[in-house]
Amino acid sequence: MAKIDSAALGNRPISKLLIQQAAPASVGILVMSLNILIDTIFVGNWIGPIAIAAINVVLPVSFFIAALGMSIGIGGSSIISRALGAEQQEKALKTFGNQITLTLLLTITMVVVGLVYINELIPAFGGKGEIFEPAKVYYRVVLYGVPFLALCMMGNAVIRAEGKPKFAMAAMIIPSVGNLILDYILIYRLDMGMLGAAWATTASYLFCLGYVAWFFLSKNSELKINWPHFGFDWPILKEISSLGFVTLARQAVVSITYLLMNNILFDLGGEDSVTVYAIIGRMLMLALFPVLGVTQGFLPIAGFNYGAKKYARVRKSINTAILYAVVLGLLVFTGIMIFAEEIVEIFTDNATIIAETPDAMRWVFAATPIIALQLIGAAYFQAVGKAVPAFLLTLSRQGFFFIPLVLILPRFYGEIGVWISFPIADVLATLVTGYFLNREIRKSLRTETA
């Protein structure tokens, strides 16, 4: 059995450790988000605004299948982090093997289903009118590569659980850079249109999988699994599933949100309104990268120290992560409020979209400074293996608050009702998460036993 050296998560100063874990995570998320952003700019300028809407229609389907890998990765990594903290190396190895088997089984099944029902799924997610045909071209090719992406996202979470965030960062950078290079070649140089955009994306997933496979086969990884580890261990599988279901449910809600938003906005303002949402969605991915990076960096620290029963360090990691994320969220908020118009003009020269998007974007980002508490709070419960509160708090923002709001408010306020649903949902979810996190700290993290 390989010796697993992750003791740094349990003894280095929390502030320094969080920066070391969060900085590579933030850079990785930034590069991945920039990839999506620049990809959208390329598509918008080289193909047209309808192509932006078409990609936005496909994203929830492909992201949901890929989220199976992310869910299995995060659920299993919570087990791995706690197992390493408790010096249960064999359990960590068995968990990793089960993650690989489960990811392959589920994602391949979902891809087959997705291809069989291609003509039903695209219109259901808003691919109507002129959007349908380009969305269908993009969807078919990208779906082939989604299992590669799922394995990458699963592996990335495990790399973080090993305490090696720089390698996890590289796993996000490599496919992003590859996608942009292929975009230039296939769309701009070879004039392949939507087909070129789709193949560039799929090939980038394969690049990512190649790097992740290299990492685990090399001396850099200490999780050296053998064939017996791939066989299902039902108690571990149950724990992976219960914790991973939190992430999967969140992505399912994201996909439902895309479905609702694309259809509601198409009915309210046609293709242009769907494009407005597509641009704002890209900015949400990009602008929140530092906050999401802190959340990713926080997970292995909290999980390891909880497994080691070092509760004072868990409390300090919660407080430090929230502080850092709030400060970064405030900077993001300020930038969006000031430069919304300039940001939109990067994507398109369509006068209608340029006129409508900035105010909508400001509404969507209005509560950004406070969402750190909601993200860190929900992540804590997942990191320490408490699946039920993690599930409820993760779904609170979009599932319990945003979806009802976006179904109700546009009936009274039209399109502005869609955009004000975002900050209202953020505030409500933050209040609920703050209450439960504070109660958890007072009840479960007071006694230091190690």
Rounded to whole angstroms, how far apart are CA atoms 63 and 73? 15
The pLDDT score that the predictor gives to residue 448 is 52
| C-beta neighbour count of 184 within 10 angstroms | 16
Pure H helices in 12-164: 14-46, 49-85, 89-116, 118-124, 132-161
The pLDDT score that the predictor gives to residue 2 is 37
pLDDT, tens digit (0-9, with 9 covering 90-100), for 366-425: 999 898 899 999 889 888 888 788 888 888 888 899 999 999 999 999 899 999 999 999
Rounded to whole angstroms, how far apart are CA atoms 202 and 146? 7
Q: Which amino acid is at 264?
A: I
At CA 56, angle to CA 53 and CA 58, rounded to 5?
A: 115
Rounded to whole angstroms, how far apart are CA atoms 427 and 73? 29
Rounded to whole angstroms, how far apart are CA atoms 15 and 297? 11
Residue 5 dihedral angles phi and psi, to the nearest 5°: -100, 100
Residues of the chain with pLDDT under 50: 1-5, 449-450
The pLDDT score that the predictor gives to residue 215 is 93
Q: Which amino acid is at 85?
A: G
Is residue 162 a contact partner of residue 24, using CB atoms and an 8 Å limit?
Answer: no
The pLDDT score that the predictor gives to residue 429 is 94
The H or E element that residue 375 is part of is: helix 371-383
Angle of helix 14-46 relative to helix 311-347, nearest 10 degrees, comes to 20
The pLDDT score that the predictor gives to residue 424 is 96
pTM flag (> 0.75)? no
Rounded to whole angstroms, how far apart are CA atoms 306 and 303? 5
* HSE-up of residue 312 (Cα within 13 Å, Cβ side): 5
Rounded to whole angstroms, how far apart are CA atoms 141 and 114? 12
Angle of helix 49-85 relative to helix 193-217, nearest 10 degrees, comes to 10
pLDDT, tens digit (0-9, with 9 covering 90-100), for 326-368: 999 999 999 999 998 898 888 777 888 888 899 999 999 999 9
The pLDDT score that the predictor gives to residue 255 is 74
